[in-house]
Amino acid sequence: MTAPAQPRHATGATVRLTNIHQRFGDVVAVRDVNLEVQAGEFLTLLGPSGSGKTTTLNIIAGFLEPMTGEVYINEEPATFKAPHLRNIGMVFQNYALWPHMTVFQNVAFPLRMRRESRADIRKRVEETLAMVRLQGLETRLPRQLSGGQQQRVALARALVFSPALLLMDEPLGALDKKLREQMQLEIKHLQKTLGITVIYVTHDQEEALFMSDRVAVTNAGTIVQIGTPVDLYNRPADRFVADFIGESNFLSGKVQSVDATSSCRLVTDGGSVFQGMLGHPAQPGDAVVAAIRPEKIRLQQTGGPSAEENTSQGSIVEVIYLGDWVKYRIELTSGETIVVKVPDRSGDEVHRVGSHALLAIAPRDVMVYHE
């Protein structure tokens, strides 16, 4: 696992969660969560709805006291500290801008709570609004702003008092695609410039991979894997992560043999034999599933297979043209269906339905997990 890159100005807070457990009635929302966030890091909690990420965020913010476990901010115990004493900025899902206050009043609020002088407040609000490119809108009311503008007011409000930690709960969910991508860039840039620690919650894996230094994937209340986007994408820890992040083909089969370096040989239900990497320990005979990313499969038309690569063949049954990629659905001779994704480079022909395909897959791109 590679260490996260150190930011230039390390003024962010560290956050540490130990053994956090939270239950609502019969439902366990957060189960044995342990997490360490470095100073200045951009960490994303990524998972499907109901996986406990928002609950965890609420615990860090102090809106919820966990049933067991502790929260440390900058190594000081914060589990029972009231929210207003934690010096955290937060951007909510629906922005939570106070409708009866102007933009200026919204952004000035945290400074007012900290009893800054009028002159200071004015200066810092204007600076922060300029930072999010909203100068000139101070006297507007939230309902007079567009979604993107409201989002930036929420951001300004959370940053105006220079907190060391910023929490963001799916802040971009309601924006359209172009705006969302633009905001992702702006937020990332802001974070690196200010050097603050950000804990970000989202269910959009592309967003998570793009913005984060590290991603913690959550499922059913636990963190199933935490690592850099590269690690997560190429070395998913289990089937869930392989499925949740990016796309994967899944082929069921049985382990035939295992060797010391965690590489194994497996036979799929259809009879194909693959050499792959085990995601977790397994014995010969175990029922497993092989996960293969579509873009890691090479069509041999571009060159013959090397000695280590797995080979397979089949016929193309569907062609899906996506502009930058072409997807081929291929029915293998062993009966299973597999999807291959190939970039559309000019000069390559787009293969037609019915034509024969020869496939090559490197063993390290075949991730094997228990069924």
Binding of another protein by 177 (CB under 8 A): no
Contacting residue, 5, 48, 98, 185, with another protein by CB under 8 A? 98
Binding of another protein by 86 (CB under 8 A): yes
Q: State the nearest-atom distance from the C-beta of 196 to another protein, in Å.
A: 11
Binding of another protein by 130 (CB under 8 A): no
Q: State the nearest-atom distance from the C-beta of 154 to another protein, in Å.
A: 8
Binding of another protein by 27 (CB under 8 A): no
CB nearer another protein, residue 16 or residue 329: 16
CB nearer another protein, residue 151 or residue 272: 151
x/- map, 33-72, another protein, by CB under 8 A: ---x-xx---------------------xxx-x----x--
Binding of another protein by 158 (CB under 8 A): yes
Q: State the nearest-atom distance from the C-beta of 39 to another protein, in Å.
A: 5
CB nearer another protein, residue 74 or residue 334: 74
Binding of another protein by 153 (CB under 8 A): no
CB nearer another protein, residue 151 or residue 228: 151
CB nearer another protein, residue 100 or residue 352: 100
Binding of another protein by 325 (CB under 8 A): no
Binding of another protein by 157 (CB under 8 A): yes
Contacting residue, 28, 32, 102, 109, with another protein by CB under 8 A? 109
CB nearer another protein, residue 74 or residue 311: 74
In contact, 238 and 278? CB cutoff 8 Å: no
**Number of residues in contact with another protein under rule CB under 8 A:** 54
Which burial class, exposed, middle or buried, applies to 361 when counting CB atoms under 10 A from its CB (0-12, 13-18, 19+)?
buried
Binding of another protein by 84 (CB under 8 A): yes
Cross-strand pairs, 222:
219
Secondary structure (H, E, C), the chain = CCCCCCCCCCCCCCEEEEEEEEEECCEEEEEEEEEEECCCCEEEEECCCCCCHHHHHHHHHCCCCCCEEEEEECCEECCCCCHHHCCEEEECCCCCCCCCCCHHHHHHHHHHHCCCCHHHHHHHHHHHHHHCCCCCCCCCCHHHCCHHHHHHHHHHHHHCCCCCEEEEECCCCCCCHHHHHHHHHHHHHHHHHHCCEEEEEECCHHHHHHHCCEEEEEECCEEEEEECHHHHHHCCCCHHHHHHCCCCEEEEEEEEEECCCCEEEEEECCCCEEEEEECCCCCCCCEEEEEECHHHCEEHHHCCCCCCCEEEEEEEEEEEECCCEEEEEEEECCCCEEEEEEECCCCCCCCCCCCEEEEEECHHHEEEEEC
Binding of another protein by 75 (CB under 8 A): yes
**Where on the chain is the footprint of another protein (CB under 8 A)?**
10-14, 16, 18-19, 36, 38-39, 61-63, 65, 70, 74-75, 77, 80, 82-84, 86-90, 92-100, 109-110, 113-114, 141-143, 147, 150-151, 157-158, 161, 164, 167, 174-175
